[in-house]
Structure 1
Amino acid sequence: MSWANRASNVPVEYVLFPDEGHGVAVKANRIKAQEAYLSFL
């Protein structure tokens, strides 16, 4: 979370996949990530 989000008290959902690196390769993780994108939009 950035300092700007903390300063303005903006709620942020942090999605972390411990079994991934810089991308999202595991199919189950991709589905969860895409669901998070859609709920954001």
Structure 2
Amino acid sequence: MTEDLHEFVEKVHDTQKKAEKNKHRAKGNPGSQLPNKQHSTNK
């Protein structure tokens, strides 16, 4: 059971790291962000 918990924590940390990276990348160059499809409908 402890092994499963450890694996889960590893996965969560990995996901958080990726999310952090994506956040920084998006802020760095907003021009490269793809537009949300939601917004393209209200022209």
Q: Same fold (TM over 0.5)?
A: no
Normalising by the residue count of structure 2, what TM-score does the alignment of the two structures yield?
Answer: 0.37
- Over alpha carbons, which structure has the higher Rg? 2
Q: Which has the higher helix share?
A: 2
